[in-house]
Amino acid sequence: MANPGKNPLYNHIPERIFTAQIIQLCKAFGWRVAHFRPGMTKRGRWKTAMSGDIGFPDLVMARPPRLIFAELKSAKGRISPEQAIWLEYVGRCNVEKYEWRPAMINEIERILR
C-alpha cells in the first residue's frame, strides 16, 4: 500500500467512516471492541448518552492480555480538553492508549495484528 500520510484522500475521510474501518480491523484480528455513538437530541444536537466524565475515548479494545483505549480523529480533527484529560489518565494506567488518524492506517493495522 502507498504511504497514506502522502495520500491527500486520507485528508477527507470522515471520522465515522474511519471508526467503522477500525472496528472492522478489530473484528478481523479477534479483538472485542466497544464504541459509544452519539445520537441526535430533540433539540437537534448530537450527544452521547453516558454518565460520568465527558471526553471518554472513542474505542475500547480488548484481546487478552492487551487493553487499548483509542481516540479517533479525522485528519484535521482536534482533541478536546476533556478528551486530553481522559487520555492522560488512561496513559497512567497499565493499558495502551492512542490517538489515531486515517493516515496512520498501516500503523494501526500493525498494532492490532
pLDDT in tens, 78-87: 999 999 999 9
CATH number, residue 59? 3.40.1350.10
Please indicate, yes or no, if residue 7 is contained in any of the structural domains.
no
* Parallel, antiparallel or unpaired: strands 39-40 and 66-72: unpaired
The residue written with cell numbers 491527500 in the block is 8
Mean pLDDT of 19-46: 90
Q: What are the tens digits of pLDDT across the range 40-97? A: 788 887 777 777 888 999 999 999 999 999 999 999 999 999 999 999 999 999 999 9
Please indicate, yes or no, if residue 5 is contained in any of the structural domains.
no
In this predicted structure, what is the pLDDT of residue 8? Answer: 67
- Domain extent, residue 65, equals 14-35+55-112
Q: Which long-range contacts does 37-44 make (Cβ < 8 Å, 24+ apart)?
A: none
Which residues lie below 8 Å from residue 48, measured CB to CB, with a gap of 6+?
A: 36, 37, 38, 39, 56
Q: Which CA distances in Å does 55 have to 4, 27, 41, 87?
A: 28, 24, 18, 9
